[in-house]
Structure 1
């Protein structure tokens, strides 16, 4: 569904609201490293990122492997890289700082959350989702962080995980942007849950009932969920509301079911649209209905549809369709009567077929 791809791209713009973690650890660190970190922080705040890096690089050489000092220096290098827009380098430094497992829990949590945002901005969604899910289980996420996790799962096509979280987002924020409801529609559709998608589409419709696309989309989802009567009722309401849905829009909805390989659903929808006078019961639509019932292998409805069409058009090809059913069912007397009606206006090829079928019918009657 194109909408879900569009929503993914829009939502990623919410990420990367990063702020350096400026607090120092409570544990004792060497005065040399403390001075370097403090001076680097001041240089960063002044915008002198080159000086901040020089100070940190110098301190890096003196920090023991696996130490708290080393973790703090790498952490600060990560935030200097963020300030410089060097996100790949920032990811590398924050990963190293966290790997030591020496930072205070609160600082480490903030670093992991920021790292997740950086990873998402670089489309490394699997690792970003892992970090966010870890933090969600341990201490929960705020609304913005939950939104980021939804985006990650959506991009990974893990809709089973993304949908409940996206529902949390819209429940927590009544003024949530339409893009979140569009995302819920799109993800539910991609998961194959057309009924759920239709329910979220109704929310969009209530928000902007003058938009024809919302009515069209709702009817399409209801139709794909097998709710043909509801789809037709939606289109009837759109018509009564003065929303500009023309015959072409309705025909396209029927074609949508055909293209999806659901001729029975297409036939039911077309039947409902004609019953509610949203589409004319003209020869073209009646013939389409007969063809759809035939494709759906609903013999009874197909036969009735072809018979109604033939009685109205008196065309040879329509009568021959009826005759085909009678031939299959061995209704020889009825077949002869139908073939007689098919002779008017028949082509040479059709007359040849009529004579052949008349021979079958007459032979069958003579031997009965």
Structure 2
């Protein structure tokens, strides 16, 4: 805020001091000109009350629609900025611009400053309207483009924000890292995963030790259906000295689950286990089997439940495998799995086992008749 106030205040000084030359064809009331200078001196000395008093006095001398009135209202706007009265500053600058008396250059800069104030007040649509109009008349420089990107992104108009943001980083490749993060994030929101990946890789070249960026890159690759690439990214990060906690990696899988993509979640978990980035254990083996099952990948789910059941010996796991065998009409395998499940089965599970055994035996009898 202090930086904005300083830059806008300096701009205001330049506009006031140059206004006479810019509008030499119009005589400025000497009393108003003196009041403007006096108010400027008071503001520079930190005496805002005296500056306001001088400007209010000058306002009474300035005629409606005149250059003098536009200059006084403009100065009142910049004085309001210096006093952290942004809503008041917006009103004054709008009044000054409405007279259409300021030079084209001065008015354009005032409108850009007005847009920045509107953004600070979270009035993003009004700011966008101003900046789009200026951009249509003459291409904005990078600083106003930054404002336009900010307003678009706050309005979630990412498809409009992205090309302008790309122009910003093209002109200023050394721009703050947050701009590359913004570009990645907006593309990710639009499910443009390859583009998001591109910007994250640019960011990693600048900040190769940023754990969060590595994690986000893997997440974007996984969201884009490239789970093996995501695991490879995490492996590369690991080899570069980046250490992820098991919960970080488990959360990447959970993101896919929450997105309603169990197949992608299973594929990512399998890749992380294959890369030995996650340690295989009973909990993760069960989760992997459940994810393949949810994804209706019967072959992988069946293999996962059988492998888990063989290790654990739990009736629940054998019954999970048996359920797939039942669906697929694999009667011999079903009877074998049910037999394995019997020793540790609960009373309820034993009832289910008997029902399935009878069903499988009847199906086999029919098939052999």
Where on the TM-score scale, by shorter chain, does this alignment land: which range? 0.7 to 0.9
Q: Distance in 2 between matches of 1:198 and 1:46?
A: 53
> How far apart, in 1, do the equivalents of 2:295 and 2:155 lie?
36
User: Deviations 1:73-108 (Å, cap 9, x if unpaired)?
Assistant: 322332333334332222111101111223221221
Provide the residue aligned with 1:150 in structure 2.
149
Partner residue of 1:328?
327
CA positional deviation for 1:49: 4.1
Whose relative contact order is higher, 1 or 2, with alpha carbons under 8 Å and at least 6 apart?
1
CA pair 60-271 structure 1, distance change in 2 beyond 3 A: same
Shift in CA distance, 248/71, structure 1 to aligned 2, threshold 3 Å: closer
State the Cα distance separating 1:265 from its structure 2 match. 0.5
Q: CA RMSD in A?
A: 2.4
Which residue in the other structure is 2:135 paired with? 136
> Is the CA contact 2:55–2:76 (under 8 Å) kept in the aligned structure 1?
yes
**Number of aligned residue pairs:** 356
Distance 1:52 1:278, change over 3 A: closer
2:282 paired residue number: 283
- Distance in 1 (CA, whole Å) between partners of 2:191 and 2:149 is 18
Deviation at 1:332, TM superposition (A): 2.7
1:185·1:196 contact (CA, 8 Å) conserved in 2? yes
Report the CA distance shift for 1:317/1:144 in structure 2 as closer, same or farther (over 3 A). same
Superposition deviation, residue 52 in structure 1: 4.0
- Deviation of 1:29 after TM superposition, in Å, equals 3.9
Q: Measure how far apart 1:268 and its partner are.
A: 0.5
CA contact under 8 A between 1:15 and 1:121: conserved in structure 2? no
- The answer on 1:230 being equivalent to 2:226 is no
Partner of 1:40: 36
Structure 2 distance, partners of 1:296, 1:222, is 19
Q: What does residue range 1-368 of structure 1 map to in structure 2 within 5 Å? A: 15-16=4-5, 17-18=7-8, 19-20=11-12, 21-22=15-16, 23-24=18-19, 25-26=22-23, 28-30=25-27, 33-47=29-43, 48-368=47-367
Give 1:30 shift.
4.8
Shift of the alpha carbon at 1:142? 2.2
- 2:318 & 2:164 partners in 1: Cα distance? 58
Change (3 A) 1:67 1:122: same
State the distance in 1 between where 2:3 and 2:49 align.
29
Alignment partners' CA distance in 1, 2:25 and 2:95: 21
Deviations for 1:181-206, whole angstroms, at most 9, x for unmatched residues?
22222222333333322222222222
- Check conservation: 2:200, 2:213, Cα contact below 8 A: yes
Structure 1 gap ranges (5+): 1-11
Runs of 4+ in structure 1 displaced over 6 angstroms? none
Deviation at 1:293, TM superposition (A): 0.7
- TM-score, with length taken from structure 2: 0.87
Q: State the shift of 1:263 in Å.
A: 0.8
How much does 1:15 deviate?
4.7
Shift of 1:62: 4.1
